[in-house]
Structures are given as structure tokens and as C-alpha cells.
Chains A and B, each alone.
Chain A
Amino acid sequence: MSGHASDHPAPAILAEVKPAVVPRRELVEHHRDFKWITDKICGIVEAKTPTWWWVCFGVAAVVASFTVSGLIYLVSTGVGVWGHANPVNWAWDIVNFVFWIGIGHAGTLISAILCLLRQKWRTSINRAAEAMTIFAVVCAAIFPVFHVGRIWFAVFPGYLFPFPNSNGIWQNFRSPLEWDVFAVSTYGTVSVLFWYVGLLPDLGTLRDRFTAAGNIVRARIYGFFAMGWRGSNRHWSNYEMAYLILAGVATPLVLSVHTIVSFDFAVSLIPGWHTTIFPPYFVAGAIFSGFGMVLTLMLPLRAIYRLEDLITQYHIDCMCKITLATGTMVGYAYSMEFFIAWYGANPYEGFAFINRAFGHYAWAYWIMIGCNVITPQFFWFKAIRENTTLVWILSIFVNVGMWFERFVIIVTSLARDFLPSSWGYYSPSIVEIFTFFGTFGVFSFLFLLFIRFVPIMPMSEVKAVIPAADPHAAHQP
């Protein structure tokens, strides 16, 4: 992507109007050069495994085992081990699914949309964000797959997948759940491809460095995955094109996945689910939560590996501002839902929203409002954006708030729908609490492997945004 901005000659008019030069924040601070960047990023992979990594890895594995054992218990005994019951037939399972899928949005958004929009600040965070996306999709996929009553029919003979079968029964292509199958699997596939293609040059670099260091085993492994990357002009040309195409393919997916997830609710007729605002509102919420999670992950990483020169205050500012923007959009959606409920004059819908804010689950609603609407407003203030610790804490609030948003939507709407006789109250069982808690272990487990074995930033792209990469840099003042 190097030097695209400079490929075109400046229009002649510029000379006449003489626009003031807007100082651009440097994306890599302290005038770091190519070698420093390579050494810094490869160094993380090449260095001896630090003790803290082993500790975290062990903890993550133990926590992940909660999910594994929770699922074994679930499948062997029945969905009843969770807290679901009539009328709340979906609860934490789908809440967690939407939560994790939402988190998975930031990565591809950063990689694809910001790539197409030529937002150069994306370079130092996109690799980790994409990895986060993939791992979040893995965590998300656990829930819809395992929440069904008979997983052995859902997955093995593939009732959910359009394989031809002897009964001649096809899937129900009207069902939003079926759309989910396609949307999420497509999103997962494209995200993995996108991430992997972006990795190729860096894997080549690592292969070369391990070869030079005489570590043949690792050189072979990285060499295998580098797919013969030699960095030739032709390779770069193909690579750039492939990356651009994938960015183009991934861009609509960012919007479509959560739109389709929102259809699970919007297409139904349950008051509180059946609203047309859901698709944009869900996408905004997903980006909001995704950036929240990126901040949650990148800030500690930046501190541990001393990456302040690569993930600069400018990066944090940008992410905070996106969080602020999407958080405000989500807040707008919350208020618009109330307006439409009143304006629509449907007593069932009116009740659903009043009940959300003031009913049995009011506590969840106000946690949601506090975390999602109020928290991001702090990002109006520069002082707060520059206080890394505070930003990190606020990002946690964003994550919590977005989990509660899904909880509020799913559980409060189901708990009190049309006929008061069947109203109920849902509370989770210990099994589903642990199963959900365990997915953080699954996520951390994968993410720790990622930071240990994969270059956490795209070296080639980061190098491309430093002044040294700009062929015109010499002419600039």
C-alpha cells in the first residue's frame, strides 16, 4: 500500500490557493527506522518465552476447560442444565453468541474498511485486531452450535447445512438462523483468509531471520506457511491486489454479518425484537464493542512489549473517537426504539420497552445505558483519552455494556411477551455462567498463542507509513 497517496501529482490549483499544511501526526514516533521495526516485532516471536506468558497461558487453559467441561455436561445431559425455560428459550447462549460476534467486528472493519478508506493509522493495530476477530468468531460459534437440543443432528448429518440427503428435505431458507449459518461461516472464512494473506510477507521475514539464526525447524515451519514468499516485485504486486480484493470482499461482510444476526430478532414478531432499526443499530453496536475489545487487548500489549512508538497516542485517540461515535449512535438507537414504540401505538410494543427500563430486568437495562451511552461520552475529553489506564478501564465498561445490551434485548423481550399468563423470569444456571466465563479462556488461549508465534503487527505495512518509505519525503520540510 506504500506511497499510494503520493502517486498522483498535486493539482495545479494548490499552488494558487496555497492551503495551509495540516500537520499530520506521525504514525511511528521517534523516527524509528525499518530495522528497528523489524527487530522489534520479530523480536517478540524470537525471544525466549517469557514467564508471564506461561502463567497467562496456563490460566487461560484452565479457564478454557470450563467451557469444555460445560459443553460436555450439556451435550451428555440436556439443555436443561442451563437456565432456559419457557418463555425464555434463548438466553445466555445467544447473548454470548451475539456478544462475541460483535467483538469480531472491529478486526475486519479496521483491516478492510479502513484499508479502503486509506486510514493509515490502522496499520499497527490491524493484525492483532484481525486475530481477535477470528478468535471471537470461534468463541461465538460455540454457542449457536451447542445451544441446540440435538447437536448430533445439527452438525453431523448436517441438518443445518445444505447437503443433499435421501429424504429430500432442504433447509428452511426463510429462517434467520439458517442465514446465520451462512453469514457467520462466510465471515469466518473471509476473515481467516484476509488475515493469512496479510501475514505472508511477515512470515517470509521470520523464515529468513530464523534461517539466518540457524533455527532450521522454525524456519521450515514459517517457510511452509510463507508459501514461498520471496518479496519479489511480482509477489508484491499480486499480494497488493489480493489484499485489496479481500478488503473489498470483507467490507460488505462487516456490515452484513451483524445485520443478519440482528435479523434473528428483527424478523420475529416478539415485541422488542420486531423493530426495523435493528440492522444499523446492531452494526454500530458491534463496531462499538469491537473497538472496545481492541482497546482492552492492545493497551496491555503496548505496555508489555513497549510498543508506544508503534501504537501511539494518535492511535488510541482514533479508536476512542470511533468508540465515542458508535456509542452515541447506539444511544440514539435506544432512544429511537422508545419513540417508535410510543409512536406506533402498539400496546404490546409499548409495554415491552417500558418493561425493559422499569420492569424486572431494569437493573440490566441501566447497566447497559450506563456502560454504552454514558461511558463513551468521556472520550470527548482529550485528557481522558490520553490517560491510558482510564481508557483501558472505560473499554472494559464498553465490553460489559455490550454484553448487557444483548441480554436486555433477548431476555427481557422473551420474558414478557404477548400473553401475561406465560410470563416468566430467567436466571442463569451455574453451568452456563461457567461456560461463558470459559470462552474468555478460549479466547485468551488463542490470543496468547497468536502473540507468541505470529508477528503481532504487519511489519511491511508499518514500514510503509514511516517517512522513510515516502519517496517524496526528502522534499518535505
Chain B
Amino acid sequence: MKRKFDHSAPAQRELTGPKYWRSLDELADTPGFREHLAREFPEGASEMNGVDRRQFMRLMAASFALGGLGLAGCRRPEKHILPYGKSVEYTIPGLPLYFATAMPLRKAAIPLVAETHQGRPTKVEGNPSYQPHGGASSLLAQASVLDLYDPERATSHTKGGMNINVADVNALLAKVSSTYAGNGEGLAFLADESSSPTRARLVGRLKAKFPRAIWAEYEPVQDEPPVAAAQAAFGRNVKPVYRFGAAKRIVSLDADFLHAEAGSLYYAREFANGRRVAKASDSMNRLYVAESNFTLTGSMADHRLRVASSHVLALAAALAGKVLGTGAFATVAAGLDFPNKDKWIEECAKDLAEHRGESLVVAGAHQPMQVHVMAYAINAFLGNIGKTIDFVAFEPSSASTITALATAIKGNSIKTLVVVNGNPAYNAPADLDFAKLIGSVPEVIRFGYYADETTAAAGDKVTHLAATHYLESWGDARTVDGTIVPIQPMIMPLFNGLSEAELLARVAGEQNPDAYAQVFLTIGQITSGDGKKAFEKFLHDGQLAGSAYPTVSVTLASQKWDFANIPGFTALSKDNLEIRFATDHKMDDGRFANNGWLQECPDPMTKIAWDNAILISPRLAQELGIVPHGNLLQVARKEEAEYTMGKENARIFEVSLNGRTVRGPVHIQPGLANYTVVLPLGYGRTVTGHIGTGSGFNAYAVRASDGQAFATGAKLVATNDHQLLANTQEHWSMEGRDIVREANLDEFARNPAYVDGIGMESHSPPVLGKDKDKDPAFIASTTPRGNSLYENPNLDGIHQWGMSIDLNTCIGCNACIIACQAENNIPIVGREQVKRGREMQWIRLDRYYSDGGADAEAFGAEGNKVLPEDPQVVMQPMTCQHCELAPCETVCPVNATVHDEEGINTMAYNRCIGTRYCANNCPYKVRRFNFFDFNKRATDALYMGPLGHQKDVPELVKMVKNPDVTVRMRGVMEKCTYCVQRIQQAKIAQKRKAGASGDVEVPDGTIKTACQQVCPVDAIVFGNIKNPDSAVSKLKAQERDYAVLGYLNVRPRTTYLGKLRNPNPHMPDYSALPLSRVEYNKKNGHTEHGVAPAHGEEHGHEAAKPAAEHGGHN
């Protein structure tokens, strides 16, 4: 399609003036020049083969067709579909919408705001209008989005394994309803616990309609104090709501209130508020923890006592006796023994007594009611009730128990069993043998999200009704304090599932029940006035104002409790072990077993992903003869022998308890009570998806009704087998390095800038020279970075992003890991790849134990040759530090990782060729490499590459991806971006808002990174450090602020606030310095505790009192 134009040279005779040539070619009149003139476009341009309209259509036909098909991918309510030509109400393509909802979990739902993109939920956040949580959520809530898109959930209703349609289901439920109407003999329900008012209302209707039917509820784990304790203590139905924020002295009796107890989000938040310290004069709460397992609460303890769970009652009695000054509990306390017992109890009691009205004793929900009564008594005696602990009136569930149901089934009196959620065949007490029982019921209707062990156990006759996810159903729930929160669907049920409200309403006899109408009705009964308006407000706010349980005043009935059937005190030994059945940190009771994010999230203490392990104490390991020892050549490291070639090679042991046994790998866990064996629940699922199958062992197999939380009389027997565990942290010691900088509160009060006296920087000139003490904004914006031969952007953007992480409040709950994974489309890699160390999570929580050892010589070699029995622990969230002088950037040959002018170390994924040099040169080792196409390939076929069975990301899994974040392919490096997509969105919004005013600076607090948003304790703060008034600037201006490895002069933008401990100087285990500091001093050749004043001053070290030896710690 060349077009020729006639630009012939003017004829010679037309030229009158001087002659100019367009080029020498024209003068020479070359053929090339003539050609050039004749062409419309210069050379090359008109060579392109012309594409006419017809050809274009022909070429594009296939693409058009595919494009049309592709549009069918979105799902939204069919009734409301409108063409985008007339915009769908509320919807702006590309911008997410947020709706309030809640995640129900036993008795304490988490109020949420769900982020939806074009009708599909991709991420949940805590509902900020629910004050007690302050916008935080948990790792389970974060991961629950993935469950919605689990391809292996029950995708259709089945009967005997064959799919049935919705009409059949409705007919079946109608038949049940009519068959048993009026009597209910032979009908039984077994449900999980629920806080839903709608369900309570519907259960009431069921009970009215089927008066003789059994309604039983079963939860495998207890997370709320037993009502019986409140009945015994106060004579009424109340439950405690703790006010940790007001408590200065806290004693936890085996209570993991920071994680495992109901309301842990609220409690963690309040607890952290009591620990937050800004200046030297600030006070901080003190936490005493007595526990058998090493929980997150224990990790925060200032004094931690390792005591068997079965001995906690004796301890509670001894403590109560001491506080109340009575000998009435002496018999209960008899037998209790641990080093310095009397002093421990006396000083602890004294400390409590000195803080009347601002102390708090909390007992673990799983502890027997007597422990709770003791705790209530202490709190009452100290005047804490109404101050640090409130009691709220509530109506306890009147449901029957699974044991009663089991008896009824054994008596052949149950003809139809409806199992609503839960998974009793898997997690019911082993002595009930529920899997077998359920098989003997003639008709089983199973309502569940997965076709699991219970469905399988019911055999061929079972009708499995596919339950909806909470993100696709209408419902309601209560939070820990009783506030009613709505559960709103974000998407139409993906697989025609049935919601719980609809199920129960149908059984109750309704013909066309609508879950929405059911919830509307429930709320309407509670609210007064304009029901519709109130309901809309309820949905919008995500909570029903004023619906919390009322606080009531209680008085201790008497001190004469019926302690007749007190479990006797059993001394423990290697041959008589205690087993503690612990709710797993990620699997909970096993319901999240098929969630890849949770499976791959390492346990916060053991750091094991994908499996559970039998946890035993180092002492027990020694007595069982499995204490590891390194080989002779390894003078520098007596690494635990389980680690062979960098993988934890755990010995398989057999645990037996009352004739039941279970096999599992043993992990030696520092900090456990000596003779307590911890078995995490929730693993060893047999009927679940491919993620959950083959993960860990099933501890329920040895758990009987009489010892659901802990039991004594267990034995461990070694086998000759080993199992490799996917442990993400092989090394437990900080090696006396200055990575986490700790001090005791009194040292901090004397020397608030103690962090500057630690580390290489304390021995070298200040990294920033004379600018060291200038404010962060000055350093960020004026310290020259550019003007070099290379084009470094000067950090002259109006925003300079930075982050501050408070190690003093971080409880190590892992929620940030999962929030980041959900926000940033981080793939899972599978057990085998985690074993190799290829996990992809952008945040890791480093967990270090210290026991003050570090006994090797100062120079070089590693210390801490044996696993400590009773360590202090520190947690450190570690992610990209966004160094201003980033070592990763200088080494990338292709400029794929560069700085922007706002101080973010950015990744240009498209440019990355994957040399991995940046990861090598990162001192924090926070870069993650896509060794395989983790997003595209199935985790079990990674090594098969393109020949594997999965060619692309499954459609359902694609839906969970955040459309604002690139999904990375293999061969690409990735890492934390400070959630750059959120930053950009906020900047765009601000620019639109600013208009001509030019005020484009994003206000402080507008942008929250995913990790910050989820954090229940507000340990992570992100913002503009150029603005001196921003929250992050103020935190960075604190004297506790330090940069990890600051001496490298990489100038990280993420800095940490040093950790503080608040030990009681009178306690027997008091140490004048945190144990990691003791190790640091030993390792770096400092005089013990910095006695020499000259030395101390010279280096800015705090000269601690020489008398304050750390001894006495056991």
C-alpha cells in the first residue's frame, strides 16, 4: 500500500535566488534521495505490510470471540445485572467496594469489612467502627477468604455420593420437618457453637416444634471460661470481660489470652496499650504467666513459670491462699513444687496486693472451674471487679452435649441425625467413637462446608448439604462482649450452597425461607422503631449499637466452694507424663486444614509449617535420650541433631494415653513444663482436600471426654523412624548479636536511649555523622544521596515513606504474614519447598530464644550449645527494610530494583531476569525468589514444569487475587513493597481531591499497609516521615528507635522500637538485664553488665549496678 507523492525537485529555471540543497544527496541527485522524496513516510515506515479493514477483522475475529467468552467470568446477582453502559450503582470499575460483615467463630465473631472487586471479595479487614478491635483482625479471618475459593469445598448437595438438586434438598428438609412435627422423637441435631441470635431464635422454634428432639452442641476446644465457675462464685449466669488496659499487674493461670481465648483480639489490643511506652517516665504493665505450653502470652511474660496444666489448680490455690491470707486452700495446693516456689508465690502475691484495683488474674478457659473460682476470688478480694474485670450477664446455651447424644444413639433412639457444621467424626472425644456411632444412625443429614470425615463416616446413606461460606451468606453473630454484628454476603453462593439460617428455617417448617428475612426478623425483634431503617443502619455500621451484654455487678457468694471433687495432685515424671491438647495456632480445631495460607504459615513458636509435632521439653528429651549433638568437626556449632542438611529430621514417637496411641514427630520445644507433652490439635485430617491431607497427626485420637484439655498418665515411646519437618527457622539463638535490643524498664527509665549503647554503631562514629540526631524528615530529605555519577533519585518527593515496628508490643501472632499474603497475591509453595527454604511470605517473624548462655569465646564462634529449658523469647517481624542506600539496588545488573523519589525500594518485575544477586546482598534476607511458577503450577508437580497436570491458575483460585497487584511468574524476585498499590490509590484520591489547591500530600493515617491494618496491637505504623507530625515520625523520634544492622549504613526506612521487659526485682528469677543482653555483653567482650564506668560512658553503655547479677534464673 505504498503511496507515492510527487515531491519533484523544482525545475532549475524556477530558481531565482541562491541555491540551497536539502542535503548533499540532493546536490548529487542520487536515486536514494529521489526515492526519499517520493515516499510519504521515511524508510521503514511504508515497508509495513498494509493491513486493510477486512484483514484486520479477519485477524482479530478469534480475539473478539475469546474476549466475549472471557467476560462471562464475573459473578454477581443475576437479578441486578446491568450493562456498564449505564453504570451499575455504586460501582466504579477498578475501584473496590467495602461492605461490613463478620466472621463467626464459636462464641466470638470478628467484625469485618470486606473488600470486593467487581463483585468478588478478595480481602477482609477488621471493622474499625467496632472499637474494642480498632480495625484489627486475626490471621484466621485473613485466611478465610481463601476458603471461599477453595476448589475442594463441597460444591454440590449429594446423596450417597451422587449430586442432588436444590429441589430434592428442599423436599428432604420438608419431609424431616413434617415427619417429626409436634414430637421430634428420634430426631437429633448436633451443631457447632454459635453466637448467632438468628440461630438461637430458630433453635427455639425447632425446640417448640420438636419438643422431644435432641439439640446438642459440641466444640472440640473451650475458649470461654466455664459458666459453672461463675455460677459457683457469683450464683448467676455471667461471664468475665477483662479490661487489660486498666491492669498494671496481670497473672495468667495457663490462659493464652493473647491468642487462644475468645476475645483475644480485644485482649491483645488492651494488653498492648498497657505496655506501650513512649518516654522514660511511662509505666508499663507486668505480666506473670504460669503455663505448661509455650504460648504467645507466655512469650510476652515478664515472669514465666513453667508448670504443668494439671498443677495450675494447686498454683491458683497457693496464690489465692497467699493473696487472701487464708489457709483454706492449703490442701488443694499441696504437692506443688518448683524451684523457689514459696518466694515466687509470695512476691507475686505481694505485687498483686500492692496494685489493688489495677491487677488482674486470668485463668485459662480450658482449666477446671475451680481455677476460675480461685481467680475470681483473688480479683474480688483485690477489688478488681468493675475495674479490670467486668462481668456481663448472658444466656448460656441450653443445648445438650455430645455425650448425651452419643448415649441416645447407642440406645438406637435416634432415627434422623442432622449434623450442622462441626466435624464430630474427626474431633469428638475418642472414647465416644463417634465416627462409628454416626454410621449406625439410619438417616444422617450433614450440613457442612466440606465433605469431611463426618460425611464419610455416615456412609452411603448420608445426604451432604453444601454449606455457604460466611462471605456468601446472610447471618448475624455476637462479638466477645455480646455486640451483634451482621454477616452480609459479598457474592452470590458460588456453588448453590445452603445457608445455616435457611437450613434451620426449612427444618422448622418454613416453605420459602430467606436467610435475609430471617436475620431481618431477628434484628427487628431486638430493635425498636423503624425496623427497616434500623436494619439498614445495622448493616451499614456492621454492628448493632448498644447490643452488648449488660455489665452487672456481682459479689462473691462466699468462700465456701464445693471443692469435693477436686482432681488430685499428680506428680509427673518421664513415665507419667501430662498431655496438653492445644488449639493449634493456625488450624484451630482442624476446620482450616485445607487452607494453604494457614498450612504454610509457620507456627509462631516452633516455626514448623504444614505439620504438627509432639512438643516435649529439653529436659524430657534428655531423659528420653534423644538430646542432639553435633559431630566432632563442628566445633563452632552443636546444632541440634534434628537438623540434618538444614532440615529438621524429627524422631517419630508414639504417645500412649489410656490405651490409645498416636504417632508423630517429636520437636524439642524450649520453655515447656518439663513433663508436659503438647499435642497441637487440628492435624491428621483424613478426608479433606489435597492441601490438608497428609498434614500432621491427629491428636484427637488419644483425647477422651475426661481430659479434653489435658490429661495425665501418658507415655512416650521412641520408634526408629524419622520425619523431615518443614521448619522455617533452623537457628534459635541470636548469638549475642544486636538484632533485637532489649532492656528492663528500670534501665530504660535511667537511660531511655539504651538502644544506642548496643551494637556495632555504639563503637563507631555515628553513621549519619553530625546529622545523627536530626529529625527523620531532615535526614530523609536533605542528606545527599544523588549528585553521583549514577542517577540515583534524590529523595525529594513530598512523601517519604517509613515504618516503625514496636517490638515491645508485638505479640508474634502471625496475622501480618497472612494479611500480606492476601493483599499481595503471594503464592504458597508447598511442604517440600518450605523444607528447602523457599517459602514466599514477604514478612517473617523471627523468633529467638535466649538463656543468657553464649558461653563460647567472644570472638566468632557460636555459643548456646544446648537448647535452653527456660528461655526468654523475642519476636521480630522482618520484612523489606526499604534501605535508603539499598545494597540490593547496586548489585542488580539490569536495574530491576530501584529507588523511587519517595524512598521506596521498588521492584520492576518485568525487568527482573532473576540473577538473585539482590537476595544475596540483602543483609536482612527478606527477598523472595520464584524458583518455580508457584502461581501457575500445582505444588505437587512443581518439578514437572510444563509437563505437570496444572497448566494455569485454576479459575476459582484466580478470583482471590488482588487485581491491583501483579501476579509474579517464575524467575522473578519479589519482596515487600510497603503495599505500594495502596499508596498509589491514596495519592490518586488525594490528587483528585486537591484539584487546583495543589494540596497533594496524603494526610497521615490515610494509608495503612496490610500488615499494619491487621495488627491487633498496633505494633506496625506506616506513614510519611517527612511530616514531623505523622504518627510514624513521632515513633521514630523516640529514643528506643533503632535500625537493625544500622552499622552497615544502609539506612533502613523500617526501624524498630526496642523491646522492654518489666521484671519484678524481688522475684527469684529476676535478671537485671534481659537475657539476650547478657548474651550480647558476653559475646562482645563487654564486662559483665558493663561494670566499668569509664568503658560504659565511653561507649554510651548503661552502667548497670554490678550487684544486679542475672543469677537466679532457672
Report which A residues bind B (CB closer than 8 A): 73, 76-81, 83-87, 89-90, 147-151, 153-154, 159-160, 169-178, 181, 264, 267-270, 341-342, 345-348, 350-351, 353-355, 357-360, 362-363, 414, 417-427
Contacts and interface: CB of A to CB of B under 8 A. Distances in A.
Nearest to A167: B911
A355 B920 contact: no
A97 to B, nearest CB: 12
A147 B916 CA distance: 9
Contact of B893 (A150, A178, A414): A178
Nearest to B876: A421
A421 B848 contact: yes
Given A80-B833, A358-B636, A270 B860 contact: no
Contact of B636 (A76, A80, A90, A359): A359
A441 B730 CA distance: 38
A89 B930 CA distance: 11
A291 to B, nearest CB: 30
7 contacts: A148-B913, A150-B913, A176-B891, A268-B887, A354-B636, A359-B637, A425-B647
B971 A149 contact: yes
Contact of A159 (B730, B911, B933, B943): B911
Interface in B1030-1060: 1044-1045, 1048, 1050
Given A175-B891, A346-B760, A422-B925, A90 B861 contact: no
A77 B836 CA distance: 17
A358 B925 contact: no
Contacts, number: 238
A174 B733 CA distance: 36
A269 B887 contact: yes
Contacts of A153: 911-913
Contacts of B716: none
Nearest to A76: B945
A172 B739 contact: no
Given A84-B931, A419-B737, 11 more contacts: A77-B945, A80-B932, A83-B836, A147-B916, A149-B971, A264-B917, A268-B920, A269-B921, A269-B1048, A419-B878, A424-B837
Interface in B822-864: 833, 836-839, 844, 846-848, 859-862
B970 A78 contact: yes
Contacts of B643: 425
A185 B502 CA distance: 72
A379 B485 CA distance: 84
Q: Which 8 A-B pairs have the closest CB atoms?
A: A149-B914, A149-B971, A425-B646, A77-B945, A80-B931, A354-B860, A421-B846, A89-B916
A148 B971 contact: yes
Give the most central of B736, B838, B925, B946: most A CB within 10 Å. B925
Contacts of B836: 83, 85
A175 B890 contact: yes
A35 B760 CA distance: 71
Contacts of A418: 737, 739, 923-925, 1045
A77 B861 contact: no
A153 B911 CA distance: 8
A86 B925 contact: yes
B894 interface: yes
Contact of A77 (B847, B929, B943, B1050): B943
A347 B739 contact: no
B424 to A, nearest CB: 40
Interface string B537-553: 00000000000000000
A264 B915 CA distance: 12
A286 B758 CA distance: 41
B899 to A, nearest CB: 12
Given A172-B890, A359-B636, A77 B913 contact: no
Contacts of B927: 86
B735 A351 contact: yes
A362 B633 contact: yes
Given A148-B971, A354-B861, A87 B913 contact: no
Contacts of A424: 646, 730, 837
Contacts of B1044: 419
B589 interface: no
Nearest to A90: B920
A350 B860 CA distance: 5
Nearest to B760: A346
Given A160-B893, A358-B635, A362-B634, A150 B972 contact: yes
B432 to A, nearest CB: 43
Nearest to A80: B931
B636 A419 contact: no
A377 B985 CA distance: 67
Give the most central of A147, A171, A354: most B CB within 10 Å. A354
Please classify the interface of chain B as helix (H, G, I), strand (E, B), loop, or mixed, using the class held by over half of its residues: loop
B892 interface: yes
B634 A358 contact: yes
Nearest to B1080: A347
A83 B646 CA distance: 12
B1083 interface: yes
A171 B634 contact: no
Interface string B932-948: 11000000001111100
B454 to A, nearest CB: 38
B645 interface: yes
A171 B733 contact: no
A76 B972 contact: no
Contacts of B943: 77, 80-81
Contacts of A417: 923, 925
Contacts of B645: 425, 427
B859 A85 contact: no
Contacts of A79: 914, 916, 929, 931, 970-971
Nearest to A85: B837
Given A269-B1048, A347-B859, A420-B735, A173 B916 contact: no
B518 interface: no
A178 B892 CA distance: 8
A159 B915 CA distance: 12
Contacts of A76: 945-946
Given A171-B893, A172-B894, A86 B945 contact: no
B734 interface: yes
Contacts of B356: none
A268 B895 CA distance: 16
A175 B892 contact: yes
B861 A160 contact: no
B1084 A347 contact: yes
A342 B928 contact: no
Given A85-B838, A89-B919, A175-B891, A423 B912 contact: no
A338 to B, nearest CB: 10
Contact of B913 (A89, A149, A348, A425): A149
A86 B837 contact: yes
A463 to B, nearest CB: 47
A77 B645 CA distance: 24
Contact of A171 (B894, B914, B944, B973): B894
A341 B1044 CA distance: 21
A363 B1048 CA distance: 31
Contacts of B837: 85-87, 424
Given A148-B915, A421-B848, A342 B925 contact: no
B236 interface: no
A173 B1045 CA distance: 27
A420 B916 contact: no
B731 A423 contact: yes
Given A175-B890, A351-B735, A427-B646, A359 B634 contact: yes
Given A268-B891, A420-B848, A78 B932 contact: yes
A80 B942 contact: yes
Contact of B633 (A77, A78, A172, A363): A363
Interface in B850-902: 859-862, 876, 878, 887, 889-895
A85 B923 contact: no
B921 A160 contact: no
A86 B919 contact: yes
